[in-house]
């Protein structure tokens, strides 16, 4: 990489928020690019993000582990195709130590404010504990699904028994002999329900919307396979590539719902195959197109409903009393505990609401996102220079590994940092027209996909706008992020004195006092 950027006033060249899979990937790639001046601010006392937090029984990734790991840090020792959370967590710990990241991480630092100071061109970042840092670039690696959601059922706060969210599992709670209500039937619930069913006296599973669930092609890797993966990284990469291509094909029925029909029929047959009672089969069968909500994988969830101690409840929960739950048909079920498998806040405007981010002219990010979160390539936001998002708007995947997207984003950000150095720029700011064109393209590609086929999911906000998912093949996203189109940005140079000249309108939407001429032929009007 070129000479260090001029940011003499900043403590660090880069500040990263979050030490989960995405923040750590950013940190590793910065080191590999020769940038050692960075800090990772993590609210917890350990790395791992979602894989540190989610420890419920049966917790595992529904993406194959050889793919759900860094491409540059393969692990030949995955015990099975879909590794349990502990193995994934251990993998993250190992990567953290092997890349010597700990000296860069400040634990117990929950960032609550980041303000861009256009004068010196740096971000002033404050943690809840009062400490502050400044950095030339600001990377948000907070992850999208980390604020637990509670069901909006009256009386929950009055319940006298045990209540916990799937992501805050109480491992000391003794399920034996207890009657338990489990609310929600998403990716988390379908993993823990089969695990606790044999332990409890009674389990009432409250389903609001039936998920589509396909068999999980899971198995242990044999000793020979693991040995071969150890001996031949090429073979391991080939295996990874094969998994990637197979997963990628799953995008076809998503982008074209007509192709989803045969898959839907197979999935419906699978329910019949697993569940004895036709009335329960009917209630477990979703009434929307497969893929509209995330397709789940399980080999033991449906069978749970053959157990005499498990009840599927599809009447809406209307009230929670001190020791019972009540449904819309008036039935009251006494329970000792309630498990909330009710998911996470998925709208960035809500999960980032504890973090004030102010860009050029003091503009607030959440105000900028008043009508919905959006970012160019899911990474940069107009008016928020040198700020980069990981797993930002519309970069989630329903069909393949999120780490593929994260690595694409990290590569893009490193290219941006290189360009800032090469151009001796103080900051870069995505042009509004580039962002607008990108959004129009996204909206066009989202039309007629399975997500617009008429279901309600956390992929979309209230007005139906999909804010979560990348519509299409993930390799197309990789191609888009391979190189930075410099003319999609306004580059503001370091200048010793203020020279007011014509500038890209969106670079300074509020006409802040630090206007600088653009340079390199890329900073003109939009
Ligand atoms: P989720 O998929 O959002 O599921 C939440 C569930 O709670 C849904 O069934 C929802 O019903 C239900 N719910 C919410 N409020 C309710 C209420 N008031 N009454 C009744 N039901 C209510 O959350 P999650 O299962 O925690 O999963 C979160 C994300 O992580 C998902 O994308 C999931 O696929 C993913 N995940 C991934 C893995 C993996 O292996 N990679 C593992 C676990 C989870 P509605 O459908 O009607 O809204």
Residues 404 and 505 placed together within one structural domain of the fold: yes
pLDDT value at residue 498: 42
Asked if residue 490 and residue 425 are part of one domain, the reply reads yes
Q: Is residue 234 part of a domain?
A: no
166 lines ligand 1 (CB under 6 A): yes
Same domain, 352 and 499: yes
Residues 198 and 282 in one domain: yes
3-state secondary structure at position 427: strand
Residue-by-residue DSSP string for 452-513: GSS---TTB-TTS-B-SB--S-HHHHHHHHSS--GGGEEEEE--SS-------GGGSTT--S
User: What is the best residue among 186, 293, 326, 340 to mutate for testing ligand 1's pocket, by most ligand atoms within 8 Å of CB?
Assistant: 186
Domain boundary, last residue among 291, 314, 340: 340
The answer to whether residues 490 and 351 belong to one domain is: yes
Tell me how far the alpha carbon of residue 481 lies from the centroid of ligand 1, in angstroms: 30
Copy the structure tokens of residue 14: 């880069």
Which class for 120: exposed (0-12), middle (13-18), buried (19 or more C-beta within 10 A)?
Answer: middle
* pLDDT recorded at residue 457: 81
Q: Is 186 in the pocket of ligand 1 (CB under 6 A)?
A: yes
Q: Which range of residues forms the domain containing residue 305?
A: 156-220+250-340
Residue 288 and residue 320 in contact, taking contact as beta carbons nearer than 8 Å: no
- Give a yes or no: residue 308 inside a domain: yes
219-234, pLDDT tens digit by residue? 999 999 999 999 999 9
Q: Return d(Cα 190, Cα 182) in angstroms, integer.
A: 10
Q: What DSSP assignment string belongs to 291-328?
A: TSSPPEE-SSTGGGGGSTTEEEE-SPEEEE-SSEEEET
CA atoms of 198 and 201, how far apart (whole Å): 8
pLDDT at position 522:
28
CATH code, 210: 3.50.50.60
pLDDT at 1: 54
Closest atom of ligand 1 to 457 CA is 48
Q: Which of 184, 296, 338, 402 to mutate to test the pocket of ligand 1 (most atoms within 8 A of CB)?
A: 184
| CB of 396 sitting under 6 A from ligand 1 | no
Specify if 96 maps to a domain: no
**Which segments in the chain show pLDDT lower than 50?**
3-6, 497-526
| Res 349: pLDDT | 85
Long-range contacts of 216-223 (CB under 8 A, 24+ apart): 216/62, 216/82, 216/297, 216/298, 216/299, 217/81, 217/297, 218/80, 218/81, 218/82, 218/297, 218/299, 219/80, 219/81, 220/79, 220/80, 221/78, 221/79, 221/80, 221/81
Q: What is the pLDDT of residues 501-512, one digit of tens each?
A: 333 333 333 333
Q: Total structural domains in the chain?
A: 2
Looking at the fold, whether 303 and 414 belong to one and the same domain comes out as no
Same structural domain, 178 and 162: yes
For the entire predicted model, the pTM comes to 0.92
**Residue at which a domain ends, from 310, 340, 370:** 340
Ligand 1 pocket member 243 (CB < 6 A): no
- Residue ending a domain, choose from 294, 317, 340: 340
pLDDT at 512: 36
Per-residue model confidence (pLDDT) at position 222: 98
């Amino acid at each position: 990489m070129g000479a260090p950027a001029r940011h003499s006033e900043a403590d660090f060249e880069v500040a990263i928020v979050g030490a989960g899979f995405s923040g750590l990937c950013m940190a590793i790639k910065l080191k590999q690019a020769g940038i050692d001046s960075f800090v990772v601010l993590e609210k917890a006392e350990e790395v791992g993000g979602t894989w540190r937090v989610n420890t419920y029984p049966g917790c595992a990734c529904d993406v194959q582990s050889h793919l759900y790991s860094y491409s540059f840090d393969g692990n030949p020792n995955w015990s099975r195709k879909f590794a349990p959370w502990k193995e994934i967590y251990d993998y993250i710990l190992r990567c953290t130590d092997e890349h010597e990241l700990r000296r860069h991480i400040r634990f117990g630092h929950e960032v609550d404010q980041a303000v861009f100071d256009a004068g010196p061109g740096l971000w002033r970042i404050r943690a809840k504990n009062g400490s502050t840092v400044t950095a030339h670039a600001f990377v948000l690696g907070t992850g999208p699904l980390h604020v637990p959601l509670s069901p909006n059922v009256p009386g929950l706060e009055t319940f006298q028994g045990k209540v916990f969210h799937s992501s805050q599992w109480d491992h000391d709670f003794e399920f034996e002999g207890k009657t338990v209500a489990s609310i929600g039937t998403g990716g988390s619930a379908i993993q823990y329900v089969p695990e606790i069913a044999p332990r409890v006296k009674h389990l009432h599973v409250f389903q609001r919307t039936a998920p589509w669930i396909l068999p999980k092609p899971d198995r242990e890797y044999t000793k020979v396979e693991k040995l071969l993966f150890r001996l031949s990284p090429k073979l391991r990469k080939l295996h990874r590539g094969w998994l990637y291509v197979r997963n990628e094909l799953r995008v076809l029925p998503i982008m074209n719902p007509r192709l989803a029909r045969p898959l839907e029929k197979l999935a419906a047959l699978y329910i019949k195959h697993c569940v004895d009672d036709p009335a329960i089969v009917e209630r477990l069968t979703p009434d929307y197109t497969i893929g509209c909500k995330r397709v789940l994988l399980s080999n033991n969830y449906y069978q749970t409903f053959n157990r005499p101690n498990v009840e599927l409840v599809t009447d809406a929960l209307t009230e929670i009393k001190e020791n019972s739950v009540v449904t819309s048909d008036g039935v009251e079920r006494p329970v000792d505990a309630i498990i909330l498998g009710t998911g996470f806040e998925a709208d960035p405007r809500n999960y980032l609401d504890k973090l004030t981010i102010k860009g050029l002219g003091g503009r607030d990010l959440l105000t900028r996102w008043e009508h919905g979160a959006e970012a160019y390539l899911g990474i940069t936001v107009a008016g928020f220079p040198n700020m980069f998002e990981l797993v930002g708007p519309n970069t989630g995947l329903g069909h393949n590994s999120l780490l593929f997207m994260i690595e694409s984003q990290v590569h893009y950000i490193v290219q941006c940092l290189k360009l800032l150095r090469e151009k001796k720029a103080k900051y870069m700011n995505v042009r509004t027209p580039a962002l607008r064109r990108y959004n129009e393209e996204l909206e066009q590609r989202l039309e007629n996909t399975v997500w617009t086929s008429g279901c309600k999911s956390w992929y979309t906000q209230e007005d139906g706008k999909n804010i979560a998912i990348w519509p299409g093949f993930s390799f197309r996203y990789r191609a888009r992020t391979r190189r930075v189109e410099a003319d999609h940005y306004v580059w503001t140079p370091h200048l010793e004195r203020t020279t007011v000249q014509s500038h890209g309108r969106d670079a300074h939407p509020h006409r802040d006092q630090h206007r600088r001429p653009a340079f390199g032929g890329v900073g003109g009007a939009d």
